[in-house]
Amino acid sequence: MRRRSRWLVLMVWGMGWLLLACVRYVDRAPLWVPVTSPRPVEATFAAGTPLPFHPPTRPPGAPLYTPTPDPPRVLPTLRIEEETYTVQSGDTLGQIAARYGLSLEALITANQIPNPDLLYPGQVLVIPAPTPAGSAPAFKIIPDSELIYGPATVGFDVAAWIAAQGGYLATYQETLGEVTLSGAEIVSEIARNFSVNPRLLLAVLEYQSGWVTQPQPDAAWQDYPLRYVDLRRKGLYRQLAWAANNLNRGYYLWRVNALGHFLLADGSIVPAANTINAGTAGVQYLFSLLYGRAEWERAVGESGVFATLERFFGYPFDWAVEPLLPPNLTQPALQLPFEPGVTWSFTGGPHGGYGDGSAWAALDFAPSDGRYGCRESDAWVTAAADGRVVRSEPAVVVLDLDGDGYEQTGWSLFYLHIATADRVAPGTWLKAGERIGHPSCEGGVSSGTHVHIARRYNGEWIPADGPLPFNLEGWISQGKGVEYEGTLVRDGVVLEASERRIPQNQIQR
């Protein structure tokens, strides 16, 4: 009972601000040339086999593995002309500035706004062209697999490693609602749910505040150990959740060539180097939110968080799993995640897998039983493929499709908003079509009972509308460039994602 209570409170209290937490009837956030090739880490393990935690070894005197070169990317270019924008109901200056890649101060100055808190619909704003300053460093910080909660994280005992450091984190506890979590529990849960590497989270935390190794770190950062000061994100849990979300944001934006520059905390606009990799882009993006130019370049340079990672865990590129996503990757056969003969509504097109910074990896379905809002449902969510249940906790079920017992390797399916009652037990082997649990509103803020399903491969979220779209019994997901909007198409039939129950979104197996 304690474990159930702990997870339910954690999901609702700790993550309500950003968990894709499904508020659109279904889901909307309320919110260099190598000397040698990197040594690949074996990505398949015998089920349940504990692995020793140590960096891959290199013979004495052998050269360092250097990062595999990345071909130059074609990135978005900065605007060179001034534009105008007409304020809409609900807009804020901060939102508008972020949309156009400007600092808030630049927008205020361009429009000579005396009170930035006062906007009115119909107001026309001048959107100045951004002024870039130099270019971002091309230094590679980590391989992609060191940002992802993937194969190279198997066997890393977070709690034991933290305890061995003897720092403040080892004794830290935080109460969320009625639940008290240790520092190690917080790091582990953030890593699993966001699918972000715990080693990277620990290195970022140490670089920012010294919490990992110092018994008495600077008291000024007691509430904000990542030095991101926001009253809504006090405490280690919310600070790390914010960091994981933005590491993901930079990573997945880079994956789709949508991150052309960084807007630094001091308003500087720095074009990205087009030869870095997604893992490096994720780290550069996170620190762009924290620092001005000089401190940012230090943080993302060789003496920054890279040096912390190397001190803690060895040379980061020794851990490279390459390729993380094989070029010939195909999706295994998947069924729709509900029972035959029962009508459901397709309520959410491609949107974030977990947190609004991750890839648009998820789709939503709600039972069409004529009832709306959050209520108990007799409908069943089912396994979309054969697999082993490697996690089952309030709101979350993770199905491991290769059966090795690790969600970090191979294909896995992530189900969210699964009711506590009748939820499948961890360790269960399921055949496709067998029951997982009931859809619900558990696990964040939701305006209606539904299930959220997303795919990961080697820990990486796979976009539902990307080069490898969701294929559910021939229904192919397509996006419209707007989160939650999209279609399912099969044999010329098109279903439209809608938060309402309409003929155009009804679907059966």
- CA of residue 103 relative to chain centroid, distance: 24
CATH class held by domain 2-28+328-507: mainly beta
CA dihedral 346, 350, 351, 353 (to 10 degrees): 100
Answer yes or no: is pLDDT of 24 > 90: no
| DSSP codes of every residue in 11-23 | IIIIHTTTS----
Task: Give dist(CA 91, CA 228) in Å, integer.
Answer: 24
What is the band of 304 on the pLDDT scale with cuts at 50, 70, 90? very high
pLDDT at 36: 29
Mean pLDDT of all residues in 358-384: 92
pLDDT at 471: 98
Closest by CA position to 32, among listed 62, 64, 66, 73:
66
Bridge partners (DSSP) listed for residue 406: none
Answer yes or no: is pLDDT of 19 > 50: no
Please name the residue that has the structure tokens 């000397």.
35
Answer yes or no: is pLDDT of 343 > 90: yes
Q: How many other CB atoms are there within 10 angstroms of residue 203's CB atom?
A: 27
Mean pLDDT of all residues in 425-431: 98
pLDDT at 40: 35
Mean pLDDT of all residues in 371-392: 94
pLDDT at 370: 67
pLDDT at 55: 56
Residue 144 identity (one-letter amino acid): D
Closest by CA position to 488, among listed 467, 466, 504, 468:
504
Residue 150 contacts residue 321 (beta carbons within 8 Å): yes
Range from 32-41, 180-189, 342-351 carrying the lowest mean pLDDT:
32-41
Collapsing DSSP to helix, strand or coil, 11 comes out as helix
Peptide bond into 323 cis (omega under 30): yes
pLDDT at 57: 66
Q: Would you state the structure tokens that stand for residue 145, as one six-digit string?
A: 């697999």
Residue 124 to residues 95, 101, 131, 133, 502, Cα–Cα distance (Å): 15, 18, 21, 28, 37
Residue 390 contacts residue 411 (beta carbons within 8 Å): no
What is the band of 212 on the pLDDT scale with cuts at 50, 70, 90? very high
DSSP 196: B
Write out pLDDT tens, residues 451-487. 999 999 999 999 999 999 999 999 999 999 999 999 9
Q: How many other CB atoms are there within 10 angstroms of residue 480's CB atom?
A: 14
Answer yes or no: is pLDDT of 9 > 70: no
Write out pLDDT tens, residues 227-273. 999 999 999 999 999 999 999 999 999 999 999 999 999 889 999 99
Mean pLDDT value across the chain: 87
- CA of residue 224 relative to chain centroid, distance: 21
Task: Give dist(CA 180, CA 6) in Å, integer.
Answer: 8
Domain 83-127 has CATH 3.10.450.30: no
Answer yes or no: is pLDDT of 8 > 70: no
DSSP 12: I
Q: Return the HEC string of 95-108.
A: HHHHHCCCCHHHHH
Q: Would you state the structure tokens that stand for residue 444, as one six-digit string?
A: 């964040």
What is the band of 56 on the pLDDT scale with cuts at 50, 70, 90? low
Write out pLDDT tens, residues 128-145. 887 877 889 999 999 999
Residue 433 contacts residue 441 (beta carbons within 8 Å): no
Residue 98 to residues 105, 245, 405, 425, Cα–Cα distance (Å): 11, 17, 41, 43
Q: Tell me what percent of the residues of the chain surpass a pLDDT of 70.
A: 88
- CA of residue 274 relative to chain centroid, distance: 22
Range from 5-19, 225-239, 461-475, 495-509 carrying the lowest mean pLDDT:
5-19
Task: Give dist(CA 379, CA 392) in Å, integer.
Answer: 18
> 3-state SS of the chain: helix, strand, coil percent to 5?
25, 20, 55
Residue 487 phi, psi (nearest 5): -135, 160
Please compute, for residue 70, the number of CA atoms within 13 A of its CA located in the half-sphere on the CB side: 23
Answer yes or no: is pLDDT of 39 > 90: no
pLDDT at 102: 80
Q: Where are the beta strands (DSSP E) in 384-468?
A: 387-393, 395-400, 411-418, 429-430, 435-437, 451-457, 460-461
Task: Give dist(CA 34, CA 446) in Å, integer.
Answer: 48
Answer yes or no: is pLDDT of 277 > 60: yes
Question: How many contiguous H segments (helices) and E segments (strands) does the chain have?
Answer: 12, 21
Closest by CA position to 392, among listed 355, 430, 420:
420
pLDDT at 10: 42
Mean pLDDT of all residues in 111-123: 87
Answer yes or no: is pLDDT of 87 > 80: yes
pLDDT at 45: 37
Task: Give dist(CA 244, CA 42) in Å, integer.
Answer: 25
- How many residues in total does the chain contain? 509
pLDDT at 142: 97
Residue 279 contacts residue 143 (beta carbons within 8 Å): yes
Residue 360 contacts residue 386 (beta carbons within 8 Å): no
Residue 47 contacts residue 403 (beta carbons within 8 Å): yes
Task: Give dist(CA 199, CA 197) in Å, integer.
Answer: 5
Characterize 167-193 residue by residue with b for buried, 16 or more Cβ atoms within 10 angstroms of its Cβ, and e for exposed.
bbbbebebebeebebbbbbbbbbbbbb
Write out pLDDT tens, residues 144-191. 999 999 999 998 999 999 999 999 999 999 999 888 999 999 999 999
Domain extents in the chain: 2-28+328-507, 83-127, 144-319
pLDDT at 17: 33
Answer yes or no: is pLDDT of 290 > 90: yes
Peptide bond into 56 cis (omega under 30): no
Q: Where are the alpha helices (DSSP H) in 48-182?
A: 93-99, 104-111, 158-165, 168-171
Range from 67-76, 275-284, 435-444, 494-503 carrying the lowest mean pLDDT:
67-76
Closest by CA position to 407, among listed 467, 455, 443, 351:
455
* CA quadruple 64, 70, 71, 74: dihedral sign: negative
Q: At what angle do helices 198-209 and 183-194 cross, to 10 degrees?
A: 130
**For the whole model, what pTM was predicted?**
0.86
